[in-house]
Amino acid sequence: MKELENKLQELSNIWKNIEIHLEESNFFKEIIKRLNDNQQTIANFNQLEITNTFGIYIFYIKPLKNYDFKSLEEDWKKIGLEKGYIKFPQIVKSRFDFHLPIKTSEKYVFYIGKSETLGNRIKEHITHEKNASTYGLKLKDRTFFTSENMSFSYWELPPELKSDHKEINQFLITQIEKKLRGKLNPWIGKQ
């Protein structure tokens, strides 16, 4: 067990050095630009062929209301629970507050995620119904979070970063997702 802990610490230290290099080379800025430039409405999802590979995805919102925390909580959480939604991500107040005041004329990062089966995971967020046992956005049948105001984009782990080891790919997308979450402050989700 101690050997595993040492290896994980070593990997963490290596990542810190890589992260510094990636920051200096604008790697994260390029990913964010690519994600922003390639947004698709969730209504178009079935027309796209997204591979099931390792990657990061973002859901964006152009809100229908000038939300404050309380009204967003009402529309996302309270109405969701009243309608029987289970296992969906919660609002992170500090991240939401970062964007105040909210304007209906602007788009915001709503949720950020990672997956080793990118196409399937995005589809689950869009098409799963309220009582699906999988944790997710469950955008189907939501009142204020629809194809009218929700879009998404994704970034696939490029071949030059991919490893033959699933665990290394998972580590990379986890670290990249964490860094992007810190830069983009999505309204809902982890941390």
Q: What average pLDDT does this structure show over 49-73? A: 94
* 14 domain residue, yes or no: no
| 191 vs 51 pLDDT, higher one | 51
* 7 domain residue, yes or no: no
Give me the number of domains the chain comprises.
1
* 16 domain residue, yes or no: no
* 108 domain residue, yes or no: yes
pTM of the model: 0.88
DSSP letter string over 22-53? HHHTTHHHHHHHHHHHT-EEGGGGGGS---SS
Residue 44 binned pLDDT confidence (cut-offs 50, 70, 90): confident
Q: What average pLDDT does this structure show over 68-90? A: 89
User: pLDDT value at position 110?
Assistant: 98
Please check whether residue 25 is in contact with residue 35, taking contact to mean a CB–CB distance below 8 angstroms: no
Instruction: Count CB-CB contacts under 10 A for residue 149.
Output: 18
* 96 domain residue, yes or no: yes
Q: What average pLDDT does this structure show over 72-90? A: 87
User: pLDDT value at position 47?
Assistant: 63
* 71 domain residue, yes or no: yes
Beta bridge partners of 150: 61
The residue among 145, 185, 176, 182 whose CA lies nearest residue 19 is 176
* 133 domain residue, yes or no: yes
Q: Which two tokens stand for residue 54?
A: 């390792």
* 101 domain residue, yes or no: yes
Region of poorest pLDDT, from 2-11, 130-139, 173-182: 2-11
Phi/psi of residue 151, each to 5°? -140, 175
Structural domain that includes position 108: 38-184
Tens digits of residue pLDDT in 4-34: 787 778 877 887 877 777 777 788 999 999 9
For tokens 């665990």, name the residue.
167
Q: Which two tokens stand for residue 128?
A: 């799963």
